[in-house]
Structure 1
């Protein structure tokens, strides 16, 4: 066939391009089928039983929340593709293929719903993998119906509630992964049904209670991970019967008691991780039988005694960590023969003697951490190290007695990055000395009131401030993380919410040792305040809430506090914690050191186990004054006080000057306010009292007035201070109302001066308990009080209002009497008796 040429070739090319474009647009329009679409497919072709189709529909409906787009499946249900999400087992029945779901693989699908109980309807299910989603709610107990299930992984979700006891009925189950959830309660006590189980991982939950004794029946167990929970009780000695066990990880729980010697029978064990518990006693010599052991972590407990000689047989050990205990005795020589060793952590104990010379030549050793060896003979470096260490990059010999000088050949170790022997800041000359120092650890320069906090964001292992009045140094490296910017300084803008958030949301970290040097401080006594905020071991997102940070605090070379746990320092949640120490400075310099001695959480992630500090403030304690200085200050204070009193008297702020100068005109006569107050016998000639104050008799020359002294807390005090009240009160005139002569209201004194009634108050005469008014009111004929000579020349309604108002003003309980402003409001028609009755007591209405 000849090749098309010219226009025929062009037409064919255009046609093919058009067809390809159509197919691409069709594919984009249809999109990837959803889970529901795939279920509709199997429902229409009848390849799955009805109950499994219904179960898939419920599963699809609940695995995603209503706010989430539908789940898409890459392959059809029952596809034979290796990456198919829903796998099936099919067989032929009456010339028709009949299938059943045997595998559900929906890991990392961003599922944010819950697991529907219908999951128990997949009778032939072998694998259920929902790892790494955001599923919430509980674990359905119907999972216990899946008798063919071998693999169950619900890890890294947000599941809550307890572990259903029905799961122990899964006789075929080989892998059970529930780690990284929020499960609580206890581990089901009857585990006898899990006889096929190989791996049990319940790490990073909130589980409590003991490790069930029935775990001894799970004889096929290879790995047990129960780390980062709140399990208590002791370690079961029956664990020694699990002869296939290769890993036992009980890190960071609340387990107590001793390590049972029966664990020495686990001949295949390669990893034993028991750190960060409350275990005690001596290290069992039987562990020396674990010749396959590669990891032995016993840090942050309370072990005593020596390292057993039987551990010489642990020739395959790669990681040996016993820091943060109370072990003593010599460091065994056989450690130098552990040729596979990569990590040796002995810090925070009470060891004696010397390090075996061969230790420095171990070919795989990466970390060598030792501390607190101060007794004889101390540590001596060998004259030469052959061969030179090829992997050692972190060497800590802190607070150790080192004999002779540090050899120069250490500088030739090519891999060595972190070296800590002793931190010492050389004395330096100061141009100016200070009485205080404030450092914003890990943060920028900031002012907190009058205190100026220095910037501390350098990433170098040593830094002298630009002002040269302070410095810091850090040393060591992390066990589970790399040293970088994020592992040295941090700023978490929303962790601390108090007034000092600019300081406490910053912090500086250090792997092993962190030292601050205060320089150029004046001689004297100081208060050192250390500010802490545990912002790393406090988050549910990374399951670090159970972690704890423990370190020691040294000031001027002296251990001031051992095993400081930031979370246990008194203080409120989401607020800074503080520690304060008194210190005396003689030579102008101050050393504050934080040292991680192997205790607390070696958590991974985040794996940042060393000391943490938010700020350091150093303030001088005022010195004690000499006797002559105290006398001089006292004389000066007395003279100043006398001058101040004289000035205040001259201004009229104290004494009675204002009272003597304030004139009160009564009729044609004028008196001073002091004369009127004296006339009350200094407020002792009491006439009566009410809710707002006490009335006194003031006997002036040829004149008597009534003086009402208001209580300071009375509402009347605010009323008489208004111009409107003063104007209305003075203008108000009535035959039956006592005339107000004068109002005085200044600072603590508030007075109303009235005409004096010779025969007592109008209320006593007209409305007393045995008065005519009281009797008439009782009979409902209060209007009879009106003078008969007035005939009909008065307003009956107004008369009734005035009489009832007068009765209210003479109530026995002051709290039931109206205020002056309420009386004026009624008389002027602005309010009714009912209005003020409801204001006084809603349940009382006028007669």
Structure 2
């Protein structure tokens, strides 16, 4: 096969050495053996005269880098290998090699040397704690007071590029758009521009046909918030044929896969639509790496040529801690005068602020003291701008914590802002409790906390915005808000909720009892994936205790009987609440508002009756008709009834619940009756609540309150039991 001109064997798990016969193929134009397991040294290498590209990135090649590879001027990528360290006197460092990528090409005990080859000694002159890059931009862009540096100002990049900035950041890029018939591979081919984007941060982007890595070294160690900004600005062909193109790639942060099969257009909901993804990254050796990798999925050739690799519009990195090292500033007389003048103004303002707000601020600082918050701090100005000064038109909910507003940050990120009401009974402690715990927890079925704002008399939490609001609104809201949930979606939601609670109980570093699992605290994203929210009522567990005695907090209809009556709190209280939510999900009925006849107190009461009569599927939502999986529906109902057993000891753990719902764990054929106390206690709180409502002149619970009220406390309508509870 000596006449072959392209050999492309990417990520094929090929082992051993590169055969010498490869270099003797005189017609060879492209050799791409990247991301394999090749080893050995490159000896007696003479490149074919027609060779245009050589990609050996992502292997275990060792020894010296042959001078024959370095002298051709061709794009050669040797990154991520095990070559001998190229010191200043090595051929790789004796000339300016714009097309040679040596990023992490060597094995060395000095990790930073692998990032910046050809240096004999390396020492961080100063430490950084942020990074803002306008990817693909030839100009710097200032957004919301932050300057994003254009990465195309000094080095455009190309088929094999290692670009390093004097501020200790850079990028490594590799790959050839083989379907564009451009063997010259102009550097501009690796940039994308759009005149349709008003936000300049998204008007340009850097793209790569295979892999691109942004890095920063000399970073102060700690946890950082990483924001990746995307907008599909290249697959915008107006013809129907051109729009069929699909860009799919993977994202790695610190070598950890954080997004698989990522599709910008699908996630953002269309082309030319800004999208921001948020992640946390832990820096332990002063370095941060963010890699975008095309894994061979999506469009590879037609209908849109040369768009198959990753694309990134901007990157921002901020510390989730108070930096210990200050970045160097130019010290001049004007700056000193300005600083002194500003200080005097600030001092005068501070005295006035101290007079009015010192007591509240002091109290808040006491609450904050000792709480290690791994979260971004927003300014009140940013939040007001995002929500149009908390405009009523942006209000999307109201809970016991306060109102919730939809907003948009300057970088295009859509957010949900929870504002502590001045009349809220929860206050600073619950606010800090929620902020502290959510910042430490990351799971696909838990809502993401972007940050917080503690300024003046404002306490605000900033969450990811979830397009489909809550499960309660989808099931029980006004007709125009309801969502037609088919059976596979209901099954997915139920399993997702169970996995989220199982993570809180058993898998997270902080073992948490949520205490208020219900439909309004289950939010739905664009694809109707469930995410559990509202940790303001959550309690940390104590592994040395079997339960916690506490004042009751939660929502009538979802509270476990042992907790509602005596304040006896264990993980099994959440299991009970989950069972109620599962019954609502399968039936499309609200637990508090449903009873086919007056003799049944609630949905759970009716479900128990159907169980005893052997007619469980009579509970399935009529709207589904016969279009549902009967075995899955029966399984979900049985699991729900097992979770709502009157005796906590007979309820399963949430990990077992996940297994039962997925069919990997057998469900007991008969759900035992409670032996310690009468099952009717499960309905006592509901009966008391209805008696209370009637005494206040209400004939029934208003439907709207079912999803607008966040946390009606059981103690408000059951005060006779308060004396047996101990607040912790």
What is the TM-score normalised by the length of structure 1?
0.31
Larger of the two Rg values belongs to structure = 1
Q: Which has the higher helix share?
A: 2
Choose between structure 1 and 2 for higher RCO, CA contacts under 8 A separated by at least 6 residues: 2
What is the TM-score normalised by the length of structure 2?
0.36
